[in-house]
Structure 1
Amino acid sequence: MFKIITRENINSLLLGVVALLILLNGISTFRNNHIIIQNNQLRERITLAKQVTASVLTRIIQATDVAVRGYAITEEEVYINAFEYLYKKQINIYAEIIDHLQALNIEVSSIRKLESSTLSYIDFSMEMIEQVKVGNTDKFKQMLEEGRGDELYEVYVAASNEVFTQMDQLNEEATNSYDTALKWNKWLQVILLITSLPTIVSVILRIKKESKGRNKLYEKLAENNHTYLFNPGQTADDKQHNTLENVLDNSIQNMQQASDFVTQIADGDYNVQWNGLNEKNEALNNTTLAGALLRMRQKMNDIKEADQKNLWMTRGLTEFSKLVRDHGQDFKSFVNQSTTYLVKYLNSQQGGLFVVSHNNTTYLQLEACYAFNKEKFVEKRVEVGQGLVGQAYLEKKPAVLTKVPQGYTQITSGLGDATPNCLIVMPFQYNEKVEAVFEIASFDVLEPHQQEFLTRAGEFMASALVSLKMSKQQPEIASEAQ
């Protein structure tokens, strides 16, 4: 009797070890997924902090310079109002930048120095405006030639380079942590396999020696395999084949498949499948190792796709921002290059940019059109409220059509005409004011992250259009004054 009890205890202990290892594997998988999610949140926070820091150049430095020069040329109050707005509102951007940086534990002394230099430059600009008001143009020109704006730009470049370098270091650390989590998960799976396989073999060998209750023990082990490893969904006839060889073979196959599954995931293959898992037995494997591995695969695949989409959006916005800087001084080149870039980057076939114009009445003028790798030169004017473009201007909301009415618009290529499957009419806004409306047509429906990219790129474009309009007005006003 003592001998039988001892063997039963040993068998129970070995089965308990297997269950404990599976539990530890589940805990480790949850922990690694948590690390991956935290790292991705950190990357998103770094991206936002970079964008806010970069906006200092256009929202404060360049805008202040435009306001001062514009008032010096025209002496119109609108430029003073713009200047006062910058001083009261936009200067608060530094508090936002510091909050982002402190949340990332990044040194903010350089940003505080930039803030101090900006306030000094604004005070200096106010003094320049006062000189214009009293008619002292010589003093204004003398102050203008001091190059205070260039000095402020150098402080901005130094500060942004310093914080961007620290952000890049944090991003690199997050990437290393991500890689470490994946490696740890892989090795834990290997340890689990190395430990569990001999344990299962030992249990089965001990069960083989038992003459009484052998079938019951076989069924118990098979049940544990189904509970913790993989449950294929058995019928009553299948249970009659729960022999030692069958149970052992299934266990080894499941563990081998788990090893191969983990290895393929560690190698970056998120399309790997668990052989034998189908719609009929899917619900039976919610708590098994097979089910846990599939859920882990899905989460990691979702994270990978999210990373790729974020990288795609960041790369596109960076390239588009450079395009804005390179062509932002020439209106025609700017609208053509911007329209071409957006259509190509979104893998679309046709696009048109309608810029808001004011000539006695407000209307939208088609300034750039691109279709099938060629710039199009089309004359088109849209009144406010007319069609989707006019409605988008009034409502300040995008219109997304995935069922385009026949004849509304057609995409023309060497193969003939075809109605697009997706049409988006997107208002480009700056400071809650629509500056342009972009219409893009595609055979493929644009995904949400692509639509978000178009919205954010539109903010850059609207801001550049405002600057271009202000720059264009300055020589015209000066010529009329003469």
Structure 2
Amino acid sequence: MSFLKNISINQRIQLTVILLLLILFSAAAFSVSKFSTSRVNKSIETQASVYLNQLSALITEIEKQTGGGFNHIDYATLKPHFNQAAFYQTDFPFLIDNKGNYAIHLYKEGQKYPREKLNEIFTRRNGSLSYIDFIKGKEQEVRLFFKKVESIDYYIALPISLSEAHEDLSKNRNILILIIIASSIISVFVVRFTLRPVVNAIKRINESINKLSLGEAAKKIDYPNNDEVGQIANSLNNLIDGISRTTLFANEIGKNNLGAKFEPLGPNDRLGNSLINMRTNLMNAASESEKRKKEDEKRNWLNVGLAKFADILRQNNDNLQMLADTVTQNLLDYLNANQGALFVVNQDN
């Protein structure tokens, strides 16, 4: 069964349907054939019994008219009835005397009937037996129906070839086989037509999944039916949308747009939640960096100012008026102030 691994789902379904149909039709054909054969056999028994009873009644009636047992008058009267086939082409009746000789037969009059069959006929008196005989150059099964005619102590028999009796069944069997073949072919086309949308959808789903596995963008699946395949297609479409939104959000983060909106696919969306955590960490890092930058600017401003005014104090320390003007002017410039004043405390007076 290893070859099943290399065939598509469509081929598997078609193969399964064909096998099931063949099994179903074959079982039905076998049952119908058996039932029909049994019915035909019962019909043969009924018809043969009625035929032998009528022929026995005819012989008895003729014997009553002629009397004295079976004689040449009886023979002449009955011979035309034995020269006609009963139901089929080869089922000619015959008459056997109590010694086993053919009293009336189409072409064996005066000959002995086979001893093994004769003993069974004499023992049972009424009934049937089966044997194989050559008819029209072919080996065929023959059903021999026989009945004792009490009025003359003779036996009438009717051999019926089952092949001839079942000839119509054979024709019907051939027709049934053709119907099975035609039904199987039609079923294959119906299955192919029914499964085509499903198989095509599965192929598109497979292509999209392969692209996603390679990190490529995949197209959404358009499948209108709400069956199992439709549910798979909807889930895949949701996944494609989610990956598209996640990719867009990741690109915005890459552009340092930390305020971009994003909703994860669900509470257990590991990738989406990881991106949100990364954005939070980046925002915290940016905030800390801004704080450090401001503190550094303050320290630099303070250090530069101290160095600048220390230099001013060293240069003009011998002239108080000039020192005051220089300090005031540079202080206004450094503080970006519009005006200012410098008061000197006089502690001498």
Larger helix proportion of the pair:
1
**TM-score normalized by the length of structure 1:** 0.22
**TM-score normalized by the length of structure 2:** 0.29
- Compare CA radii of gyration and give the structure with the larger one: 2
